[in-house]
Amino acid sequence: TPFKDKSGVELPPNYVIALAWTALTPNSPFEAIWGFDKAQNWEEFRGAARLWSVPAQNLVYADVDGNIGYQTPGTIPIRKNGDGTLPVPGWTGEYDWTGFIPFDELPYAFNPQSGYIVTANNQANPRDYPYLITKDWDYGQRAARIADMIQNAPGKIDAATIQSMHGDSKSLNAEVLVPILLSVNLDPGLAAVRDQFLASWDYQETANSQAASVFEWFWWNALMDTFQDELPQDYWPGGGSRWYVVMRNLVQKPDSPWWDDQATTDKVENRDDIFVRAFEETVTQIQKEYGKDTAKWPEWGKLHGATFRNQTLGKSGIGPIEALFNRGPFVTGGGKSVVNATGWTMGSSFEVDWLPSEREIVDLGNLNNSLAGHTTGQSGHAFHPHYDDMAPMWATVGYAPMWWDQASVINDAEGHLRLVP
Q: What whole-number distance in Å separates Cα of residue 196 and Cα of residue 183?
A: 14
Q: Is residue 306 part of a domain?
A: yes
Number of domains into which the chain is organized: 2
| Parallel/antiparallel/unpaired status of strands 97-100 and 108-110 | unpaired
Question: Within this chain, do residues 8 and 63 fall inside the same structural domain, yes or no?
Answer: yes
Question: Within this chain, do residues 286 and 181 fall inside the same structural domain, yes or no?
Answer: yes
Answer positive or negative: Cα dihedral of 385, 335, 300, 161. positive
Write the Ramachandran bin of 210: left for phi over 0, alpha for psi from -120 to 50, otherwise beta: alpha
Positions of the chain with pLDDT under 70: 1-3, 5-9
The CATH number of the domain holding residue 105 is 3.60.20.10
Show the domain range for 84: 2-137
Residue 14's pLDDT is 81
Question: Within this chain, do residues 123 and 166 fall inside the same structural domain, yes or no?
Answer: no
Question: Within this chain, do residues 129 and 212 fall inside the same structural domain, yes or no?
Answer: no
Question: Within this chain, do residues 190 and 102 fall inside the same structural domain, yes or no?
Answer: no
Q: Is residue 102 part of a domain?
A: yes
CA distances from 80 to 92, 97, 342 (A): 12, 6, 38
Query: Residues 272-302: pLDDT tens digits?
Result: 999 999 999 999 999 999 999 999 999 999 9
Residue 368's pLDDT is 95
Q: Is residue 230 part of a domain?
A: yes
Residue 1's pLDDT is 59
